[in-house]
């Protein structure tokens, strides 16, 4: 990029020097020769672009408009104006490209999370290896100042991590043995030894960069409109310019006068301001969100964020902390520690937070498990130490014709049956996040209807809903029930759904905006979602909505300003008041001002 900028700048400077020298040359032939050379130097790239576009059957664009306008200016003897129009157009394009590329470069640098090499521990020795050759369970050494190369678990050392590029959080995060770390964070203090839990392709850093790189492919409706508009608009402008010359000339008016006005019309009408600045606005919005620890997968999703009608939350791990603990064990003809041992063994392969709580509570050796089967939204069926075990919600046991005891707890209940005989239940408690009530109030303030969908029992969901101030909630839902509920809400308006578990993936997929919590979210949920919150913080939803609203505001400002200026110059041009100089400002000047306007999205504090 640097080389390109220098070459372009040299062309501009040489062209300016030749143009200025020509102004002091009285000899017509020398004057024309200097202007022609100046024009050739500055316009070569534009002619090449126009040629390539014509080869692709793109016959009308701003390059062709400028070529037609300047050649016609030469034809009527306005040589200086012809060169100056092309020169100003090129300077404007150069400055616009510089602004755009700098903004993209800053975002790319911000998201430069991946590393090429990793320090792998092999038989106690440190060997530098290609990051792509590191596998899961490999031991990696991370020195102070280095990025965490892959997701992993700390097995030795204690340090602080800079997670700002991932979460937008400026405060360093302390990690020690058994803590999870994600790729892209910077190790600040001490040497850490981590065991890799991902590969290069499956690491958090790779997923984030992939989302950012693909964001431009999912265009907003406004972007699509501008693209279609420019394809139709430009040919119409060329036809109108031709008619602006032909009709007055046939009516006896002076040809050169109306040709000049047509040139003003052509230059003024270039759609550069909209074609360049509107996509840039959405890119800046996505880039700003990434700085805040919010990954938005495309400008379409960014635009939808501003037009929401419903925000629907999963409960566990979203509104609540998702950190469970066993608070009570009730047994029938079996000892507590034995029931807990069987339950923990049955849950051995599950990653659900409730399963984790049961396994952490168990102090006995796990028993062998066979014929393991996870039943979506209900629980697990398996054989533990040769005994048929059912563990899950009340519906699972009812489906297998096992009677359960009535429970009035306002917590999650895990029922257990052994050889089709009811063995008891385990009470699991979860805490509401401290930030939940606050963010719910803020989201209500911006006039969004809020709903909770949960697979938990009604008493538990009701308690959580009341605590955070949400009136609408639905409990005891299977994954397909959540999908159906979201479909019902989608008939009434645009829906944003926030979840984090594997069971949420289908709902995230069908929502207008699916949001997953990145640090606690499953791979399936992150893959299915449109927006990923890297920090476990619901307030980021409000931040994302504000960024979307500000981006839309800038898009509207840009469109209004550009069209208004062009309209005024066109009207003045029809009466012979506008000059080509004014037309160049209406094109290049307005484009540059529009770009500066949308770049304020990156500077705005939310």
Domains of the chain, each with CATH number or no CATH: 2-108+215-283+549-603 (no CATH), 117-202 (2.70.150.10), 299-319+432-529 (3.40.50.1000), 325-429 (3.40.1110.10)
- Residue 157 CB partners (closer than 8 Å, separation 6+): 176, 177, 190, 191, 192, 193
Q: Which residues contact 158 (CB under 8 A, 6 or more apart)?
A: 174, 175, 176, 177, 190, 192
pLDDT at 1: 39
End-to-end CA distance of the chain: 31
Sheet containing 192-196: give its strands across: 125-130, 117-122, 139-142, 192-196, 152-156, 180-181
Active site residue 314: yes
Distance of CA 156 to the CA centre of its chain: 34
Alpha-carbon separation of residue 34 from 23, 67, 69, 324, 368 (angstroms): 9, 19, 20, 80, 90
- Between CA 34 and CA 249 the distance in angstroms is 33
H or E element, residue 295: strand 294-296
Helices 2-23 and 28-55 cross at an angle (nearest 10°) of: 150
Please state, in angstroms and as integers, the Cα–Cα distance from residue 160 to each residue in 156, 168, 182, 183, following that order.
Answer: 13, 16, 13, 14
> Given 314, 456, 504, 512, which residue is catalytic?
314
Render 186-200 in DSSP notation, one character per residue: EE-SS-EEEEE-S-T
E strands in 28-158: 117-122, 125-130, 139-142, 152-156
pLDDT at 3: 43
pTM over 0.85: no
pLDDT mean by block of 10 residues, the chain; 606 residues: 61 89 86 90 86 75 75 80 79 68 56 75 86 89 88 90 67 84 83 89 72 58 66 76 87 86 80 77 84 81 87 85 82 93 92 86 92 88 94 91 77 88 89 78 74 83 86 85 91 88 75 77 64 81 91 92 87 80 80 86 85
Using alpha carbons only, give the angle 449, 454, 455 rounded to the nearest 5 degrees: 160
Q: Give how far Cα 392 sits from Cα of 196, 281, 378, 379, Å.
A: 32, 49, 6, 4
Find out whether 583 and 569 touch, Cβ atoms under 8 Å.
yes
The beta-strand segments (E) located in 434-477 are 449-453, 472-474
């Amino acid at each position: 990029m640097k080389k390109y900028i220098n070459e372009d700048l040299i062309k501009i400077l040489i062209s300016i020097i030749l143009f200025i020298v020509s102004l002091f040359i009285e000899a017509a032939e020398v004057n024309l020769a200097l202007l022609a050379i100046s024009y050739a130097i500055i316009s070569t790239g534009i002619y090449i672009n126009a040629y390539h576009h014509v080869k692709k059957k793109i016959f009308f664009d701003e390059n062709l408009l400028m070529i037609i306008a300047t050649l016609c200016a030469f034809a009527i003897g306005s040589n200086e104006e012809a060169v100056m129009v092309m020169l100003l157009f090129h300077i404007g394009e150069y400055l616009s490209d510089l602004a755009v590329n700098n903004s993209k470069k800053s975002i790319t640098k911000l998201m430069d999370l991946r590393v090429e090499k990793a320090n792998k521990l092999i038989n106690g020795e440190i060997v530098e290896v290609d990051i792509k050759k590191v596998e899961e369970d490999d031991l990696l050494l991370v020195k102070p100042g280095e990025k965490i190369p892959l997701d992993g678990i700390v097995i030795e050392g204690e340090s602080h991590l800079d997670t700002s590029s991932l979460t937008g959080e400026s405060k360093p995060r302390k990690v020690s043995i058994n803590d999870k770390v994600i790729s892209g964070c910077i190790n600040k203090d001490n040497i850490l030894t981590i065991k890799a839990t991902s590969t290069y392709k499956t690491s958090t850093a790779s997923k984030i960069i992939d989302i950012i790189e693909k964001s431009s492919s999912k265009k907003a409706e406004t972007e699509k409109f501008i693209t279609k508009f420019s394809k139709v608009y430009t040919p119409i402008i060329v036809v109108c310019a031709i008619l602006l010359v032909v009709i007055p000339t046939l009516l006896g008016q002076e040809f050169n006068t109306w040709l000049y006005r047509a040139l003003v019309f052509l230059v003024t009408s270039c759609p550069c301001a909209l074609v360049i600045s509107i996509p840039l606005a959405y890119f800046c919005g996505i880039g700003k969100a990434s700085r805040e620890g919010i990954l938005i997968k495309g400008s379409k999703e960014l635009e939808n964020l501003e037009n929401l009608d419903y925000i629907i939350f999963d409960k566990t791990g979203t509104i609540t902390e998702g950190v469970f603990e066993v608070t009570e064990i009730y047994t029938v003809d079996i000892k507590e520690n034995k029931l807990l041992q069987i339950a923990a063994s049955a849950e051995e392969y599950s990653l659900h937070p409730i399963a984790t709580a049961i396994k952490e509570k168990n102090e006995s050796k796990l028993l062998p498990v066979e014929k393991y089967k996870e039943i979506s939204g209900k629980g697990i069926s398996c054989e533990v130490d040769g005994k048929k075990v059912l563990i899950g919600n009340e519906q699972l046991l009812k489906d297998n014709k096992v009677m359960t005891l009535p429970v009035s707890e306002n917590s999650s209940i895990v029922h257990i049956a052994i050889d089709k005989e009811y063995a008891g239940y385990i009470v699991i408690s979860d805490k509401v996040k401290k930030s939940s009530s606050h963010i719910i109030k803020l989201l209500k303030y911006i006039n969004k209807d809020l709903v909770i969908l949960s697979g938990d029992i009604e008493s538990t969901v009701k308690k959580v809903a009341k605590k955070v101030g949400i009136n609408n909630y639905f409990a005891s839902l299977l994954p397909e029930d959540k999908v159906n509920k979201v479909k019902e809400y989608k008939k009434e308006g645009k829906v944003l759904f926030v979840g984090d578990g594997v069971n949420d993936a289908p709902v995230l997929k069908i929502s207008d905006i699916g949001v997953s919590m990145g640090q606690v979210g499953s791979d399936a949920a992150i893959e299915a979602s449109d927006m990923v919150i890297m920090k476990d913080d619901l307030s980021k939803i409000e931040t994302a909505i504000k960024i979307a609203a500000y981006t839309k505001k800038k898009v509207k400002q840009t469109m209004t300003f550009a069209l208004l200026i062009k309209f005024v110059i066109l009207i003045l041009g029809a009466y012979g008041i506008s000059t080509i100089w004014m037309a160049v400002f209406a094109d290049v000047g307005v484009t540059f001002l529009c770009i500066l306007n949308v770049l304020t999205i990156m500077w705005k504090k939310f």
